[in-house]
């Protein structure tokens, strides 16, 4: 499932390699093309069945809500089911702790993604332009290389997480992303090695998102699993969205893409440390 993100970005980079040279309105054409895949969600919404486990818990939830409305005294499990899910996410100490730690990990992944991956194509384009080559085309090549690596990272993460465990694999990806940022932005100058370095960085920096598909749902009980996963995946975006807006300021402050990317890449240390405090869930049953 996580590969869908990589395929989407790969296709966008491929299209941009051709659309990017269509003049000052090229970005408008890309926005229009970007609307088309959204139409698929209409079909997905109808075709995707609900989880049997969730259906069972949802029936219990409806019964608990009816008992509450009738004025009956509820048991602890019924109280949890009748509680608003976002409130329930922070009610129990153990679940609240997992939510906060997973939020910090997601913040590291998301802030690193928006602060680094969005700079890969323009950085490679700038190197190509300095070499007398068409920048927009090489930006597309850079995006394709980065997302091809991300696709490999997505797929490999699932297998590695089943072999080594969720925590070790996630930590490996955080370490890999942290180590490869300077390889791409500082130590590699030629275009062909840059594409290789971009693919390697994509493997770890974007491929690490698979921890949210593999590990995150296993941390929450069924009654709040969707809310927990949705909150952890999306809430950090209310912070990370600042990254693209201030990217120009960061680049100017640090004197270029390279130094700015190194500064942003330090956020992976946060994810690495936070991962130490989440329980390993590989091979264990889902929380009830």
Read off the pLDDT of residues 259-277 as tens digits, 9 standing for 90 and up.
778 888 888 999 999 999 9
Residue 189 CB contacts under 8 Å (≥ 6 apart), including other chains: 127
Classify residue 58: in a domain, yes or no. Answer: no
Residue 194 lies in a domain: yes
Give one DSSP letter per residue of 141-189, joined into a string.
Answer: HHHHHHHHHHHHHHHHHHHHHHHH-HHHHHHHHHHHHHHHHHHHHTS--
- Give 219's pLDDT tier (boundaries 50, 70, 90): very high
Please state the length of the chain.
288
The pLDDT of residue 202:
93
Least confident range of 21-30, 72-81, 167-176, 253-262: 253-262
Residue 203 in domain: yes
Are 154 and 210 spatial neighbours (Cβ–Cβ below 8 Å)?
yes
Q: Which contiguous run of DSSP H or E holds residue 110?
A: helix 93-116
Query: Would you say residue 286 lies in a domain?
Result: no
> Residue 262 belongs to a domain with what CATH number?
1.20.1250.20
Residue 116, domain member (yes or no): yes
Cα-trace Rg, the chain: 22
Instruction: Please report the pLDDT score of residue 278 as a whole number.
Output: 95
Total domain count for the chain?
1
74 compared with 161, residue with greater pLDDT = 161
Residues 27, 30, 34, CA angle at the centre, nearest 5°? Answer: 140
- In this model, does residue 2 exceed pLDDT 80? no
The pLDDT, as a whole number, for residue 176 is 96
- Residue 287: pLDDT band (50, 70, 90) is confident
Domain that holds residue 248: 3-49+85-275
pLDDT of residue 244: 66
Picking from 174, 176, 180, the residue whose alpha carbon sits closest to that of residue 197 is 180
Residue 136 forms part of a structural domain: yes
Tokens matching residue 279: 């329980």
Question: What is the per-residue pLDDT across 38-55, written as a single tens digit (0 to 9) for each?
Answer: 888 888 888 888 888 889
């Amino acid at each position: 499932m996580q590969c869908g993100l990589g395929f989407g970005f790969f296709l966008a980079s491929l299209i941009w390699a051709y659309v990017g040279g269509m003049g000052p309105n090229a970005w408008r054409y890309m926005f229009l093309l970007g609307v088309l895949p959204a139409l698929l969600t209409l079909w997905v919404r109808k075709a995707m069945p609900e989880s049997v486990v969730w259906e069972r818990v949802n029936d219990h939830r409806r019964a608990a809500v009816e008992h509450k409305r009738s004025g009956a005294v509820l048991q602890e499990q019924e109280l949890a089911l009748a509680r608003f899910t976002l409130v329930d996410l922070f009610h129990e100490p153990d679940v609240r702790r997992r939510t906060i730690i997973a939020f910090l990990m997601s913040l590291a992944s998301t802030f690193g993604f928006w602060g680094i991956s969005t700079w890969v194509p323009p950085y490679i384009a700038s190197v190509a332009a300095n070499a007398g080559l068409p920048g927009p085309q090489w930006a597309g090549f850079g995006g394709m290389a980065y997302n091809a690596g991300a696709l490999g990272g997505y797929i490999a993460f699932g297998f590695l997480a089943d072999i080594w465990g969720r925590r070790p694999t996630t930590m490996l990806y955080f370490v890999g992303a942290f180590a490869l940022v300077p390889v791409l932005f500082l130590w590699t100058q030629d275009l062909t090695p840059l594409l290789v370095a971009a693919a390697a960085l994509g493997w770890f920096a974007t491929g690490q998102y698979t921890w949210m598909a593999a590990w995150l749902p296993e941390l929450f009980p069924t009654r709040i699993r969707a809310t927990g996963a949705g909150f952890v995946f999306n809430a950090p975006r209310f912070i990370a969205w600042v990254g693209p807006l201030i990217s120009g300021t960061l680049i100017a402050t640090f004197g270029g893409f390279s130094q700015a990317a190194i500064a942003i890449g330090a956020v992976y240390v946060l994810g690495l440390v936070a991962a130490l405090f989440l329980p390993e869930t590989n091979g264990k049953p889902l929380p009830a």
